[in-house]
Chain A
């Protein structure tokens, strides 16, 4: 079974703090994604990565950065957390790397972040 884990299910941080959200996969996939999900706005792509040390901006990268030093780990960083970054954050594995699409569309369990 595919395993995508995220470092925390729930997180409470203060405004201005630096926040690290981690995503770890056990499938050796190249492509990994970070989304946030908000009521009424749906799922929006923040950043994605096609390989180690590679990153691409998604639709809403402002206020975020990412790190991919190892293939299995993709980290989302909130440089200085703000209240409008309170959201559900979802990591996903994407298609590609020679694998069929249906084998790679997996989401992690999500991290619900509250910024006070």
Chain B
């Protein structure tokens, strides 16, 4: 079974701080990596995707990929209470089906 691992949290950060969310994956052949945000009672919403080693920035979000170490991370700068949600890491191993981690719960405190 190809695994995608995340710390369940909760990760608590003060408003304005940087939140760092991490994810490791077991399939070395994985090519595409995604971060979803899921508010309680809602469906997941894609916020970032990354294919290449290094950093990818989009507004307050930065995705980081290190294929040699098989990890992908998400940084959220200037965290806001509205960022409080569960963040899901997902990987495409083969074909087009997503393999999800169990998610990390983030709480941003005012």
Contacts and interface: CB of A to CB of B under 8 A. Distances in A.
B43 A94 contact: no
B100 A43 contact: yes
A42 B97 contact: no
Given A107-B43, A109-B43, A101 B100 contact: no
| Interface range, A side | 20 to 34
A105 B34 contact: yes
Give the interface SS of chain B, mostly helix, strand, loop or mixed.
Answer: strand
Interface residues of B, number: 20
Contacts of A102: 46, 49
B96 A31 contact: yes
Interface in B20-74: 32, 34, 36, 42-46, 49
Contact of A101 (B32, B42, B99, B103): B32
Contact of A42 (B34, B49, B88): B88
B17 interface: no
Contacts of A110: 42-43
Nearest to A109: B43
Interface of B: 32, 34, 36, 42-46, 49, 88, 92, 95-103
Given A31-B96, A58-B97, 20 more contacts: A33-B98, A40-B102, A43-B44, A45-B97, A45-B98, A45-B99, A48-B97, A50-B96, A90-B44, A92-B98, A95-B92, A95-B96, A101-B49, A102-B46, A105-B36, A105-B46, A105-B49, A108-B43, A109-B42, A110-B42
Interface of A: 31, 33, 35, 40-45, 48, 50, 56, 58, 90, 92, 94-96, 101-102, 105-110
